[in-house]
């Protein structure tokens, strides 16, 4: 489709930076101006890049600016949690081609989940009318222990024996696929387009059915030695006897997540707690109703979320003591009630943090939170555009032997 490593780099750079001059592009890619100019001209001839006017001038000749051309290449973005997933298709300028769709898909102990996921993605592409040859990849965020290097999820979505999840998806979807942990993708979105852009040390909290963590260290996404850094949900924060899915007790996941809040609300409403909330047996709809009610001032919903915020704050205090970050970003689904969570989180930090460590750490609510995982999924595709995955490299080596 597009020849040459440099051309892939150019398209990827324009995706993240939007508009650049040849000199700016050359500087970012650390390539010579003539080399970059030649590649850009070839991409213009291919109909993928276009001139977008002149830059403001501080004196002298105004440089000509370039950008990607819309409606040429597309990305499938999928954001999953344990019970539901969202999907959309965007063009190369990050404009949605179809509205974001939400589908119920329970992952735990569901042998049919992978087949259902593939069927829905293929149906979505078919309904969009987009030729698969124009889709440069699908980015998929999954909960649980996801090894993005090997293309394996050890928690859910098990493919047939002797095949990685990545290779199975690429075979069934017939497009390149990139996989990563949901919280890592949310952090990637914040790093590329959100509050973490241009910052060095940032902890991004993914508030959802679990509590995930994306770690930005030295300005890049930190994954840890085996790729599983950021399992904040399983930090032990209490002496509770509640058993977590991981097999341990006292985990944050058993006390401070939207799932816990939703379960408490459903039980509380049945028991007659005074609230404007109406019972719904759908956890997804119930959790949304709780957040809407809290933002409208419902006292019961606010109390439930405040308790969650305090528990999250206790976990953040541990992070601050270990990492000493510049910024903590509250992202993911729970960012919809971020303003309500800020006060109890700060209360916990006041109690559990050494002031000298926490006084220079800001806690802020993401401005892209609800869409962060989808944005991160697309960014993952573009960040690796033109590069074979490690799993694909291994397959190529095997075929060459």
Residues 83-127 pLDDT 10s: 889 999 999 999 999 999 999 999 988 999 999 999 999 999 999
- pLDDT for position 142: 94
In angstroms, how far is CA 164 from the centroid of its own chain? Answer: 21
Q: Check pLDDT > 80 for residue 331.
A: yes
User: 């915020």: which residue's tokens?
Assistant: 309
Do 195 and 364 contact (CB within 8 A), yes or no? Answer: yes
Q: Among 115-124, 245-254, 267-276, which range has the highest average pLDDT?
A: 115-124
- Residues of each domain in the chain carrying CATH 3.30.420.40: 74-184+375-400, 197-367
State the DSSP string of 33-49: HHHHHHHHHHHHHTTSE
Segments of 195-266 assigned E as strands: 202-207, 211-217, 220-222
Q: Check pLDDT > 60 for residue 28.
A: yes
Between 59 and 208, name the one with better pLDDT: 208
- pLDDT for position 24: 93
pLDDT digits (tens, 9 = 90+) for 39-49: 999 999 999 99
Query: Strand, helix or coil at 221?
Result: strand
- pLDDT for position 12: 95
Instruction: Say if residue 318 is exposed, middle or buried (CB neighbours under 10 Å; 0-12, 13-18, 19+).
Output: middle
pLDDT band, residue 401 (cuts 50/70/90): very low
C-alpha to C-alpha distances, 271 to 30, 268, 275, nearest whole angstrom: 64, 5, 11
Specify the DSSP class assigned to residue 61: P
Strand bridging mode 152-153 / 146-147: antiparallel
CA-based torsion, 232, 212, 245, 351: positive or negative? positive
pTM of the model: 0.90
The length of the chain in residues reads: 401
Q: Check pLDDT > 50 for residue 399.
A: no
pLDDT band, residue 396 (cuts 50/70/90): very low
Token pair of 155 as six digits: 């928690």
pLDDT band, residue 308 (cuts 50/70/90): very high
CATH of 197-367, one of 1.10.760.10, 1.10.3720.10, 3.30.420.40, 3.30.70.3420: 3.30.420.40
Q: What is the mean pLDDT of the chain?
A: 90
Is 5-68 a CATH 1.10.1660.10 domain? no
pLDDT digits (tens, 9 = 90+) for 207-230: 998 899 999 999 999 988 878 888
Backbone phi, psi, residue 291, to 5°: -65, -40
- pLDDT for position 340: 97
How far is 128 from 194, CA to CA, in rounded Å? Answer: 28
pLDDT band, residue 397 (cuts 50/70/90): very low
Token pair of 184 as six digits: 């890592």
Q: Check pLDDT > 70 for residue 58.
A: no
C-alpha to C-alpha distances, 114 to 110, 172, 360, nearest whole angstrom: 9, 11, 44
- Residues of each domain in the chain carrying CATH 1.10.10.10: 5-68
In angstroms, how far is CA 247 from the centroid of its own chain? Answer: 26
Strand bridging mode 211-217 / 220-222: antiparallel
User: 């690429």: which residue's tokens?
Assistant: 170
CATH of 74-184+375-400, one of 3.30.450.40, 3.30.420.40, 3.30.950.10, 1.10.8.60: 3.30.420.40
Q: Which residues pair with 137 in a beta bridge?
A: 75
- pLDDT for position 2: 59
- pLDDT for position 59: 63
- pLDDT for position 369: 82
Mean predicted confidence (pLDDT) in 232-241:
84
Token pair of 283 as six digits: 């956890």
Q: Among 61-75, 190-204, 231-245, which range has the highest average pLDDT?
A: 190-204
C-alpha to C-alpha distances, 369 to 90, 105, 185, 236, 373, nearest whole angstrom: 18, 21, 11, 26, 8
């Amino acid at each position: 489709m597009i020849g040459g490593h440099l051309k892939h780099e150019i398209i990827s750079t324009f995706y993240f930076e939007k508009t650049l001059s040849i000199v700016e592009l050359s500087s970012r890619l650390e390539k010579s101006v003539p080399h970059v100019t030649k590649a850009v001209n070839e991409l213009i001839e291919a109909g993928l890049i276009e001139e977008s006017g002149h830059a403001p001038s501080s004196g002298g000749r105004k440089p000509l600016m370039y950008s990607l051309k819309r409606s040429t290449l597309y990305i499938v973005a999928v954001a999953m949690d344990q019970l539901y997933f969202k999907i959309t298709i965007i063009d190369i300028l990050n404009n949605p081609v179809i509205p974001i769709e939400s589908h119920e898909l329970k992952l735990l102990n569901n042998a049919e989940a992978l087949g259902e996921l593939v069927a829905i993605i293929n149906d979505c592409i078919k309904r969009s009318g987009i030729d698969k040859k124009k889709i440069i990849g699908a980015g998929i965020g999954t909960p649980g222990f996801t090894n993005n290097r090997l293309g394996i999820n050890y928690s859910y979505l098990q493919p047939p024996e002797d095949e990685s999840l990545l290779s199975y998806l690429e075979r069934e979807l017939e497009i390149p696929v990139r996989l990563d942990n949901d919280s890592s993708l949310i952090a990637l979105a914040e790093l590329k387009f959100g509050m973490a852009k241009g910052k060095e040390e940032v902890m991004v909290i993914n508030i959802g059915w679990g509590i995930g963590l994306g770690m930005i260290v030295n300005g890049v996404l930190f994954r840890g030695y085996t790729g599983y850094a950021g399992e904040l949900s399983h930090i032990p924060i209490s002496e509770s006897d509640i058993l977590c899915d991981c097999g341990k007790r006292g985990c944050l996941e058993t006390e401070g997540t939207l799932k816990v809040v939703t379960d408490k609300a459903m039980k509380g409403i049945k028991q007659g707690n005074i609230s404007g909330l109406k019972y719904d047996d759908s956890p997804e709809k119930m959790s949304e109703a709780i957040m809407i009610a809290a933002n409208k001032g419902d006292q019961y919903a606010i109390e439930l979320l405040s308790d969650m915020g305090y528990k999250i704050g206790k976990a953040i205090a541990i992070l601050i003591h270990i990492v000493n970050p510049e910024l903590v970003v509250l992202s993911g689904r729970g960012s919809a009630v971020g303003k309500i969570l800020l006060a109890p989180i700060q209360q916990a930090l006041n109690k559990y943090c050494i002031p000298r460590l926490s006084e220079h750490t800001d806690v802020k609510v993401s401005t892209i939170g609800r869409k962060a995982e989808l944005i991160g999924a697309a960014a993952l595709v573009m960040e690796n555009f033109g590069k074979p995955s490690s799993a694909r490299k291994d397959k190529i080596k095997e075929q060459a032997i």
